Amino acid sequence: MTNSVADIEDAGCIFIIGSNTTACHPLIARRVIRAKEKGAKLIVADPRNIQLSRFADVSVNHRLGSDVALLNGMMHIIIKNGWHDVDYIAARTEDYDALEKSVSAYTPDKVSAITGVEPKDLEEISRLYATNSPGSLLYAMGITQHTTGVDNVKSCCNLAMLCGYVGVHGGGVNPLRGQNNVQGACDMGGLPNVFTGYQAVADDAVRKKFSDAWGADLPATPGLTITDMVPAM
């Protein structure tokens, strides 16, 4: 996350894409609701109707795998209407001309044909996100777990930078991981191949350090992942 969880409450607009936030991150969802109560706009983009869709100013159901087209379409509309942050782009980004050229083909009608989202809804979510500063963009596995996951994330970052929302309080690009506290569990060593702090089990020096600290002999071979456990049974 480029911003803290607490920052979410101070957003002017929250854009949630590819995250069933109430189900997987209930405490963060509560921050979203608090921001909404303070007057923030809320946009939800998900192939399904999720719980937060009920609270959204606009909720769109784009087709599976059409995230890049949706985000490029938003950038096209934002640039066309002059809603992008020209000063921020000049001072803190590179290759804007290449981005503008890339998204120029993503007209509302073309994006609607790809995503299934009506052009008027594309216009509205673009306007809400770009004109209610600062904008906080939240995403989870619905963005990353695709063959185009890297492009999805890059598009999220491009959208946020286009509007000047990275490096500002209440804004940012904020990935939520898959479930609540999976990041903390992994940081603490809740993985089969590493100790705390992602230090490799197979590294002799690392293993000795933890053996001495814990007063126990530790195995030199990594454990099994869930997908490895089933055939090993």
pLDDT > 90? residue 14 = yes
Buried b (16+ CB within 10 A) or exposed e, 189-202: beeeebbeeeeebe
Tokens of 129: 């996100």
pLDDT > 80? residue 218 = yes
Cβ distance 208 to 201 under 8 Å?
no
> Residues 190, 195, 197, 199: is their CA dihedral positive or negative?
negative
Residue range 165-169: average pLDDT? 98
Residues 173-182 pLDDT 10s: 999 977 767 7
Domains of the chain, residue spans:
6-175, 187-232
pLDDT > 80? residue 205 = yes
- What is the second-level CATH architecture of the domain 6-175? 3-Layer(aba) Sandwich (3.40)
Helix count and strand count (H, E) for the chain: 12, 7
- CA distance to 189, 212, 218, 222, per residue, from 206 (Å): 13, 10, 11, 13
Its pTM stands at 0.85
- When the pLDDT of each residue in the chain is averaged and rounded to a whole number, the result is 96
Buried b (16+ CB within 10 A) or exposed e, 24-56: bbeebbebbbebbeeebbbbbbbbeebebbebb
pLDDT reported for residue 181? 76
What does the alpha-carbon distance between residue 32 and residue 41 come to, in Å, rounded to a whole number?
Answer: 10
DSSP bridge partners of 15: 43, 137
Residues 22-53 pLDDT 10s: 999 999 999 999 999 999 999 999 999 999 99
